[in-house]
Amino acid sequence: MPHRTPTPARRPRRPALVALLAALLPLLATLLATAPPAAARAQAPTAQLTEVTGFGSNPSNLQMYLYVPDSVTAHPAVVVAVHYCTGSGPAMYSGTEYASLADEYGFIVVYPSVTRASKCFDVSSPQALRRGGGSDPVGIKSMVDWVTRTYDADPDRIFATGISSGAMMTNVLLGVYPDVFAAGAAFAGVPFGCFATTDGSEWNSACANGTVTHTPQQWGDLVRAAYPGYAGPRPRMQLWHGTADDVLRYPNFGEEVKQWTNVLGVSQTPAATDTPASGWTRTRYGGTGDQAPVEAVSLQGVGHNVYAWGMAARVLTFFGLDGDGPAPEPEPGGCRVTATVNAWNTGLTASLTITNTGTTAVRGWQLGFTLPGGQTITGGWGATYTPATGTVTATNASYNGTIEPGASVSIGYQANHGGNSGAPGAFTLNGAACG
């Protein structure tokens, strides 16, 4: 086709164009000066669970749910809370206390949600077990990136935690993105790479049954192979497992300890061992404080449903996101205890009501008190009691570990007595004297 030259009549008039631009430029400058930044326009409503779409690369079609507290801090930390098989982001939101803790401490919570039929995260495919491999970890990384951009989040305070399938994904995320996550907390999971399959199956029976064992070096090598050549710092890991777990059996707990102590280059011999609650054994590796490189909590007689209300506060302590740890200690006078005793011949029952008179919620508590001479506790409710005589410590049950300001918890016990049926005294709550 021959080239046509526009006729002079159709050419734009330069003086008119200049005049038009001169009129538009002040208007454009005003609009640009008053327009909100892109990030501000994209922010989610606060104090409610919100689904975010279009957050970035998402090869496995995950959904992203977000909780931003009214009190979100400048440059907030981010906690990624990963659900269990058959679960969802909204179920993780309603079934854990991370959102209420976010209200208290000002961080943001991301709840990834699986859309595949099993509602399990991909922790087994070759794609999931390498950096940028094109499966669930890529979508979760995109969620973190979206939050970091939108809220100017602190890139040094990104954390992951999960239950069951989410615990396995926590192991995977820390393996493939060690430069993104500062720490993780896995409840009833398995080591990174333990669930690996090559036939498209999401389930690995050998790993689930606790029969996959490796040396610490071999486990560590699996993690290091996920991001070849990476030589930067590695995220810390907190591990939780019940000894009676019949879904992802208890030997996986020891294998996780072997893996992460090797990855972090610390001894497999605990630097500290204690019992923070009845039936719990906590071991710390590479350090003795609340942010040791590896912390492992074994729960005697507990099955696969290891997560219980109150444990999230201990996760925050490990992450370093709280001020005073899992059991904020009231100042003297921050608690009140009333005791009622009903006695007969050689026995009695005692009812104790613990009231939080402070201004901070107590999450995880131990009530100390002294029995009158000759009394021996033979049973109790609402708490576990040790020892049975003398100075006794009552440790909260899984369902009553939180006492909000102004709220009360009632517990009690049955005891034998040798004539002195008086009430106990000298009450302390988490070491602080009560009124």
- What distance lies between CA 391 and its chain's CA centroid? 34
Strands (E) located in 151-304: 158-163, 183-187, 236-242, 272-274, 280-285, 294-299
Q: In 3D, which of 95, 148, 134, 90 has the Cα closest to residue 114?
A: 90
d(CA 267, CA 286) in angstroms, rounded, equals 6
Q: How far apart are the first and last CA of the chain?
A: 97
CA distance 264 to 336: 44
For residue 387, give every residue at least 6 positions away whose Cβ sits within 8 Å of its Cβ, in sequence order, or none.
none
CA atoms within 13 A on the CB side of 425: 4
Asked about 164 being catalytic, the answer comes back as yes
Q: Which residues contact 381 (CB under 8 A, 6 or more apart)?
A: 411, 412, 413
Task: Give the active site residue among 88, 124, 164, 421.
Answer: 164
| Residue 201 DSSP one-character state | -
Contact partners, residue 221, CB within 8 Å, separation at least 6 = none
Catalytic residues: 164
